[in-house]
Amino acid sequence: MMPFGVQSYQWPSKNWPTAHPQNMGVESREFEQFLNYAFPENLDWSSREGVRTQSLLVIKDGVLIYEKYRTGFGPEKRHHTWSVSKLLANAFMGIAEKQNILSRQSRVVDFVGPRKNPDFQKMTIRDLLYWSSGFGWNESYEGNPLRSSVLEMLYGQQVKDVGDYVAGTPLSHLPGEKESYSSGDTNLLSLTLRKALKSDERYWSFPWKELFDPLGISSAVIERDESGTFLLSSYAHMTPRDLAKIGLLYLNDGVWNKKKILPAGWVYDSTQLSPAFRGRAKGSHSDKPVRGMHLWTNKENLRMNLRRPFPDVPADMFAALGHWGQSMVMVPSERIIVVRMADDRDDSFDMNRFIKLLLQSFSSAHLGASRK
């Protein structure tokens, strides 16, 4: 097993190489169960209930072996990826570190300037990447909209300059002390990159020049706030096929067709459990994944009384996850990428079951670590 070994692929810079699932070791009866789970029959779309997949893509060994789209979607249709966009913040920070524009140890204040609270000056880019800024941030959505910081940032008055809004939020913890999922941390990373690049023109072309063009991603749209800062928390749109290219980059340790895009070890570091993890919050679900560096992991930690969040999925699985069921799951040990774009309005979707059913549909000869 080579968790982050670089594979030699036919790189999908233009089109994905495709193969019939059966030629890649997929057993049809089991695969049928996986598909029935993702696209349940007799779904009443108007009820807004149940597993509501819009687009589904499965990549194995760098080959597109399956894709299915609901009516209204297709290979050329962009999706709103919601918080899957946060993976872009991870990628851009990695690229910027590789190019010596900034590093994880850099202090945020050196780019965005001081704020009233002296503890703000201690905050590093690493703290933001691990969602441990310490800001007293309220990340609640339509279920609990009152006093939501994120709704105020994206749809309220603060959309005029999201980075400045976040930086000025009072701290409830010291930076690095406690992790807490925040779209604010992401957009402050976005502003930090903007300032570190020193030129807005350079910042606005950075995603295309450094990531999308090298990977052959042509559908990407990243929306901005009124001031021009990319809303990396929530507003990247692209086709599932293009998104999966970023997944392939991460499965290959940040290398794309011999071109090193992310620093060595960046993907490994990104997929470790946040050092600011302090155990599961009381009453929180134990089946939710845990946080790495702006992505989600399936890591266990016995000392912290943390068991593997998805027990039937390999521990090296990591994912980018977004509102209403958007996801890209990467399993390095099986060299599998699954993109699922959806409109889940309840929490009936079970990620453990979904990935388990997929893994079960591969014959053992084509599956490594998770069967051993």
Partner 1 sequence: MKAWVRRLVIVSFVIVCLVVVALLSYGGDLLRMPKIGAGFYAKEFCSCYFVNQQSEEFCRDLVKQYIPLTELTIDLKTKSVMATSLGAQRKAQWVSERFGCVLNRL
Rule CB under 8 A: which of 166-205 touch partner 1?
A: 204
Among 49, 119, 226, 287, binds partner 1 (CB under 8 A): 226
Residue span binding partner 1 (CB under 8 A) among the ranges 99-107, 118-126, 139-147, 191-199: 139-147
Shorter beta-carbon distance to partner 1: residue 105 or 157: 157
Q: Are 274 and 130 in contact (CB under 8 A)?
A: yes
Among 208, 272, 350, 371, binds partner 1 (CB under 8 A): 208
What one-character-per-residue DSSP string does 63-98 give? EEEEEEE-TT--TT--EE-GGGGHHHHHHHHHHHHH
Helix (H, G, I), strand (E, B) or coil at 158: helix
- How far apart CA 87 and CA 327 sit, in angstroms, is 11
145 binds partner 1 (CB under 8 A): yes
Q: Are 22 and 28 in contact (CB under 8 A)?
A: yes
* Torsion angle defined by CA atoms of residues 135, 166, 180 and 296, in that order, rounded to the nearest 10 degrees: -160
Among 29, 147, 258, 282, binds partner 1 (CB under 8 A): 147
The site map against partner 1 for 21-60 (x = CB under 8 A) is: ----------------------------------------
209 binds partner 1 (CB under 8 A): no
Residue 173, φ and ψ in degrees, nearest 5: -140, 165
323 binds partner 1 (CB under 8 A): no
Categorise residue 66: left if φ over 0, alpha if ψ from -120 to 50, beta otherwise.
Answer: beta
343 binds partner 1 (CB under 8 A): yes
Helix (H, G, I), strand (E, B) or coil at 251: helix
Shorter beta-carbon distance to partner 1: residue 308 or 340: 340
**In the complex, which residues of this chain contact partner 1 (CB under 8 A)?**
72, 77-80, 142, 145-147, 151-152, 154-157, 159-160, 204, 208, 220-226, 235, 237, 343
